[in-house]
Every structure is written in C-alpha cells, then in structure tokens.
Amino acid sequence: MLRLGRREFGPHEPVIMAIVNRTPDSFYDRGATFGDEPALARVEQAVAEGAAIIDIGGVKAGPGEEVTAKEEARRTVGFVAEVRRRFPDVIISVDTWRAEVGEAVCEAGADLLNDAWGGVDPGLAQVAARYGVGLVCTHAGGVEPRTRPHRVTYDDVMADILDVTVGLAERAVALGVPRESVLIDPGHDFGKNTRHSLEATRRLDEMVATGWPVLVSLSNKDFVGETLDRPVKERLIGTLATTAVSAWLGAQVYRVHEVAETRQVLEMVASIAGHRVPAVARRGLA
C-alpha cells in the first residue's frame, strides 16, 4: 500500500504526478507556469485530467542561473499554500534537494518531498521524518545538483541504482519516514547517458522486485530525444512508449507533463494486464 497525503493506492493502481515548474527557464515549458495564475490553471487542468499528485519545482534540473535556497523557497512556499487551500485533497509534492526548502514547504502543506539528486543533502530525509511526509529516493549517480553527466560509467547500472535507492529508502525509514510513503526512482538522465537510461527502463522489474513503490520521471527527457533523434517538443510518442513499458514492468508513479495522454496509456496497460476492466465492453455481446 502506498500512502501519500490523504490518499492510499493499491499495488496495481497507477498514479500520475503532474509537473508544475515555478521557474522561468524550465527545459520543456520555458517558464509557462512561472506566474501564479498560469501555474494555478495548470494545477486545475492536471487534476481534471486525472493527476493525483502535483509536483512543484522551483529550480530547473539542468545548469543555469544560480537559484539560492531563499529564492527557491520564494517561488514555491506561497504557491504550495495556495494549492493546498484551493485543492485540499490533491497530493502536493515539491521537487527539492535542500532541507531548508523542504522544511518551509512542509510547513506550507506539502505531502511529499521529491529528492531528485540522490540524498545530496541528508537533512532532507530528516525533514520528511519530522513532518511525517513522503520521500522520493532517487539515483543520480553521485553528481552535484544541476550538473550534467560527463563520460559516466557503471560496471552494472541497475546494481548501482538498487544499491543507492534502496539504501536511501532504508535510511529514510530508520529516521522515521513512514515506510508506506517512501518511493524509489531510477533517475533517468540523472548521472546517466542514454544507454544507461534505456537499460534502467529495460530492467525496471528489478526495482519493482525490491517491494518499494517505483516512480519514473520519463517525460520528454534527453534519453528519449537521443534515442529517436527528436527535439524536446517532439518526444511525446517516445515518452508514452517508455511509459507503457515501465507500466508493464510494474512502475507505479509517473511524473509527467502530458497528463491526459499518460492516463490513457496507463489505463490501457492496466487493462491488458488484467488489473482494470474496460470502460465499455459491448463488442460481440449485443
């Protein structure tokens, strides 16, 4: 059972996490939701389309202008409070690696801390434990936040992913984070080249076999773009194909830009797997 905020999800229940970037320079939307009203409209749309989690980020993942912890908090804390007020039942996640930002957003009503940089600030898990919120434990290959991998190598990329993410998850639980609120994430593109991310996808069932709920953040990433030689705005089909494979192999949470399309893919895979009945079943019965 996965428990986040006020919600509980069964083992075969896919969960969509919609991305809302409070940044002026995000790689995908180029600042489309930097302003409060466009960001709130994005939340409303994502919830209407089936997102259970809203993931709010105040710093883009890639290199760029420095964003201090104070500025990151300015971009996220008030917005978290407003989303909490307008959407009391939605699960609010904040994408941050900083404990001080995690503390502030938890005070404002966040339910989940999405640590995409592999525990670089060990205090973030302590914050999650203190507030009783969830934590995403991600493999980032040991790289510094907001840096790109350079000639990174692994003897066995999945073995490294398992060692890091399971270790972070076990540490979080030992600190007091509720076990049912801890997820692990292979960290596609983070500290990895395209072949590493493809292998992580291909072997995702090994992560699922650990028993920890698996979150994947695949949406329009560089490994999709390089695999198909497509620019950012032409990666949806590749993203959805990767989503379908990940769903078949047992991933549970999907961090995405396109909610409606992802929902259809997840529902189709769930029905093929026998975990969901068709929405309509008239063919051959009339």
Separation CA 149–CA 91 (nearest Å): 31
The answer to whether 191 touches 146, Cβ cutoff 8 Å, is no
pLDDT of 2 above 80: yes
pTM confidence score: 0.97
Catalytic member of 22, 60, 192, 221: 221
- Give a yes or no: residue 76 inside a domain: yes
Catalytic member of 22, 75, 235, 255: 255
Q: Tens of pLDDT along 239-250?
A: 999 999 999 999
Nearest CA to 75 out of 98, 105, 103, 100 is that of 105
148 is catalytic: no
Confidence of residue 25 (pLDDT cuts 50, 70, 90): confident
Q: What is the pLDDT of residue 179?
A: 98
233 is catalytic: no
The answer to whether 97 touches 124, Cβ cutoff 8 Å, is yes
- Give a yes or no: residue 137 inside a domain: yes
Confidence of residue 29 (pLDDT cuts 50, 70, 90): confident
CATH code at 108?
3.20.20.20
Whole domain around residue 188: which residue ranges? 10-271
- Give a yes or no: residue 226 inside a domain: yes
- Give a yes or no: residue 163 inside a domain: yes
Nearest CA to 24 out of 13, 10, 38, 14 is that of 38
The answer to whether 51 touches 18, Cβ cutoff 8 Å, is yes
Number of domains within the chain: 1
